[in-house]
Amino acid sequence: MAGSSQLVKELREKTGAGILDCQKALTENGNDVEKAIDYLRQKGLAAAAKKAGRETNQGLIHSYIHMGGKIGVLIEVNCETDFVARNEEFKAFVNDLALQIAAAKPTFVKREDVPADMAEKEKVIYEGQAKEMGKPPAAWPKIVEGKLEKFYQENCLMEQSFIKDPAVTVKDLLAQKISKIGENMNIRRFTRYQLGEV
């Protein structure tokens, strides 16, 4: 039992899920913590999806200055109520997002924000690279798709691995917070400034 309570504790720390949810996830997945995390993420995403249609007219605009004033981030994250906007967990989440933007330098919030002409230009470049590497033309679409996916992971905040827990994407983290706090949330926009950068 001590081992099992240790697993519950570990799972709670990694997911932020409740004790009973963690116990159920471990039971359903033979005490395999990694499988239990996936199980909870699936449940969390399902719970978040139910809230996705709700209006998010409240929230927070947060500023973060890093490295002695060399990098700055301004971010707007929306939620449903002013009550949640003042909640410490919500504020900490918004600050984590600002840290993510400062460190990982995304350009867009989500892949849908990438202009179509930019995505097309990237595809042409990747196809040219595949050709230069001497890959057979039949393999080009798969190579282009893989490189475009990597482009989204590097340039879109929602697709990035979370700097404090690389096993989780920012999209998954948002879903976990929606599930835990119980309100729909939306990362609306951000601006990242770096001294001397055009």
What tens digit of pLDDT does each residue of 121-136 get?
999 999 889 888 888 8
Express each pLDDT in 39-67 by its tens digit. Answer: 877 776 545 555 556 666 788 999 999 87
Q: Which residues pair with 161 in a beta bridge?
A: 169
Asked whether residue 164 falls in the same domain as residue 148, the answer is: no
Question: Which pLDDT score, from 0 to 100, does residue 50 have?
Answer: 55
Asked whether residue 13 falls in the same domain as residue 44, the answer is: yes
CATH code for position 120: 1.10.286
CATH code for position 35: 1.10.8.10
Q: Is 77 exposed, middle or buried (0-12, 13-18, 19+ CB in 10 A)?
A: buried
d(CA 109, CA 73): 13
d(CA 89, CA 166): 20
Quick check: 183 and 51 in contact, CB under 8 A?
A: yes
Specify the pTM: 0.69
Asked whether residue 103 falls in the same domain as residue 161, the answer is: yes
> What is the domain extent for residue 148?
115-154
d(CA 33, CA 35): 6
Question: Sign (positive/negative) of CA torsion 61, 170, 29, 51?
Answer: positive
Number of domains in the chain: 3
Asked whether residue 20 falls in the same domain as residue 105, the answer is: no
Quick check: 94 and 77 in contact, CB under 8 A?
A: yes
